[in-house]
């Protein structure tokens, strides 16, 4: 299967059934079997690029189409976006290849009747690459950088227009492949050397002392260092969340809402072979994948998966955990680089709705924290209602904010005046996260 066909298949799944882009792409690359690294890279660029630029691409398509976009079949609409993305954003792709191969994709999908329409629209875009934009500044930014208008307005009120522009542009940059080194099996330098032996260059992360940024690695599951459990894929900002927790060997730790398991595994690695991390998640199937990851990393003996709803009473004694981590369900608006499809699925009311869920989870989990224990709260969102205001609410309930203290992290670069931790894509070149450590 060609790179374009893989991207097309994935994007149709995203549109038709609400699939998550990263999950669908990973499955498609696996099912495609061994393919050249450059083909996997092109499929990834096309899938993510189209998802990031959907509003911009639709503006260009609408300007050159006599048909309403709302009336197009999903596969035809996706094909037009795929072709338009290559014409407008990929200089290295010849125009004739972008047009002809997109038309061929449409025919292969049994939509030959739409082939001439797709061909005509794409040839018009190739001849006139001007993208029509609204006159109003924030609406113009919304279309130009493909972010929903409500989110652009919200960020502009908080950050101002210039920083909002920088944030939107950062969201549209390709997120680097970031991994956390499994320090029970290798140092950062040893993991980098193992990757180099496979032809994969890497460089250290700026904030996390155990992170690596990989350059054009291709599918990671094919790499020997991955199979040996030398690292786990995890954004740099997410690595900092686990480092907020003060972990000592022998501790009893609870990771609520644990799937997909990056933070669970990181916490287990930090126990140095002594202690246990109870990984609670409402989805048993996700816990099975978490167990598979723990085995690959060699820490399965420290991880205790439990399928349960963390908003309800849990099968643990009250006051029995030294550390509780709540990486709460959230809007995910800090991860638009990695999950670009989320920006089109969220509405502004989701922020308050998620804040209510987060409060319920925190209030329930606090019952299981030992006196003097620490509670780490985090979300992959930059919205105050989900982050800073949640931390303030916990302080109002009697907890105390504690400054981050795990060595090796330049905490001053990400610590707010209140003592919480916040990262932003345009400032830190990472996902947008909020984290706070509180003590009881």
- The pLDDT mean for the chain works out to 95
Which of 178, 257, 265, 380 is the catalytic position? 380
Q: Do domains 177-233 and 236-439 have the same CATH topology?
A: no
Q: What is the per-residue pLDDT for 33?
A: 81
| Among candidate residues 45, 51, 10, the one with its CA nearest the CA of residue 29 | 10
Kindly state the average pLDDT of the residues 293-301.
97
Is the CB of residue 50 less than 8 Å from the CB of residue 11? yes
Domain residues of the chain, as ranges? 3-127, 137-171, 177-233, 236-439
Measured distance CA(435)–CA(421) in Å, rounded? 5
Are the beta carbons of 431 and 337 closer than 8 angstroms?
Answer: yes
**Cα separation, 12 vs 18, whole angstroms:** 9
- For 15, the token pair is 């549109």
Q: In which order are the strands placed within the sheet that holds 231-233?
A: 201-204, 211-215, 177-181, 231-233
Average pLDDT in the 19-33 region?
A: 92
pLDDT digits (tens, 9 = 90+) for 394-408: 999 999 999 999 999
Q: Omega into 42 within 30° of 0, i.e. cis?
A: no
Residues 148-177: tens digit of each pLDDT: 999 999 999 999 999 999 999 999 999 989
What pLDDT score does 16 carry? 95
CATH superfamily of 177-233: Sun protein; domain 3 (3.30.70.1170)
Spatial distance between the Cα atoms of 170 and 162, rounded to a whole number of angstroms: 12
Question: How much is the CA Rg of the chain, to the nearest whole Å?
Answer: 23
Fold of the domain spanning 3-127: N-utilizing Substance Protein B Homolog; Chain A (1.10.940)
pLDDT, tens only, 410-439: 999 999 999 999 999 999 999 999 999 999
380 included as an active-site residue:
yes
Per-residue pLDDT tens digits for 182-232: 999 999 999 999 999 999 999 999 999 999 999 977 778 889 999 999 999
- Please state which architecture CATH assigns to domain 236-439: 3-Layer(aba) Sandwich (3.40)
Predicted confidence (pLDDT) at residue 67 exceeds the cutoff of 80: yes
Q: Which helix (H) or strand (E) holds 231?
A: strand 231-233
Output the pLDDT for position 320.
97
| pLDDT value of position 160 | 98
Q: What is the pLDDT of residue 36?
A: 87
Q: How far apart, in whole angstroms, are the C-alpha atoms of residue 270 and residue 220?
A: 24
Local confidence band at 369 (pLDDT 50, 70, 90 cut-offs): very high
Tokens of 66: 């006599």
Place of tokens 């060699």: 298
């Amino acid at each position: 299967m060609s790179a374009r066909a893989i991207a097309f298949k994935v994007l149709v799944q995203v549109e038709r059934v609400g699939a998550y882009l990263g999950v669908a792409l990973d499955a498609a690359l696996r099912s495609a079997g061994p393919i050249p690294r450059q083909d996997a890279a092109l499929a990834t660029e096309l899938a993510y690029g189209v998802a990031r630029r959907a509003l911009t691409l639709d503006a260009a398509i609408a300007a050159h189409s006599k048909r309403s976009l709302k009336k197009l079949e999903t596969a035809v609409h996706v094909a037009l976006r795929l072709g338009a993305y290559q014409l407008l954003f990929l200089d290295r792709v010849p125009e004739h290849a972008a047009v002809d191969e997109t038309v061929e994709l449409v025919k292969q999908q049994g939509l030959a009747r739409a082939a001439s329409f797709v061909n005509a629209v794409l040839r018009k875009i190739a001849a006139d690459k001007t993208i029509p934009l609204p006159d109003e500044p924030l609406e113009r930014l919304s279309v130009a950088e493909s972010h929903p208008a409500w989110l652009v307005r919200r960020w502009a009120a908080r950050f101002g227009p210039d920083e909002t522009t920088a944030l939107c542009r950062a969201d549209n940059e390709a997120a680097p492949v970031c991994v956390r080194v499994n320090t029970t099996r290798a140092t950062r330098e040893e993991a980098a050397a193992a990757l180099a032996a496979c032809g994969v260059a890497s460089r250290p992360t700026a904030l996390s002392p155990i992170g690596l940024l990989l350059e054009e690695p291709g599918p990671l599951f094919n790499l020997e260092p991955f199979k040996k459990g030398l690292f786990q894929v995890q954004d740099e900002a997410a690595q900092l969340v686990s480092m907020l927790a003060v972990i000592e060997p022998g501790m009893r730790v609870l990771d609520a809402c644990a799937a997909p398991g990056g933070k669970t595994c990181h916490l287990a690695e930090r126990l140095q072979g002594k202690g246990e991390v109870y990984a609670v998640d409402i989805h048993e199937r996700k816990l099975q994948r978490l167990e598979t990851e723990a085995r690959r990393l060699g820490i399965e003996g420290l991880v205790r998966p439990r399928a349960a709803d963390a908003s309800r009473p849990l099968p643990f004694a009250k006051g029995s955990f030294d550390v509780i981590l709540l990486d709460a369900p959230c809007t995910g608006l800090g991860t638009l680089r990695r999950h670009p499809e989320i920006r089109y699925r969220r509405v502004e009311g989701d922020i308050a709705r998620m804040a209510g869920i987060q409060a319920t989870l925190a209030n329930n989990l606090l019952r299981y924290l030992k006196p003097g224990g620490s509670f780490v709260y985090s979300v992959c969102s930059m919205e105050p209602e989900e982050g800073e205001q949640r931390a303030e609410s916990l302080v109002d309930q009697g907890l105390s904010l504690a400054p981050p203290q795990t060595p090796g992290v330049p905490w001053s670069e990400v610590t707010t005046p209140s003592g919480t931790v916040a990262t932003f894509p345009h400032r830190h070149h990472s996902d947008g996260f909020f984290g706070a450590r509180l003590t009881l």
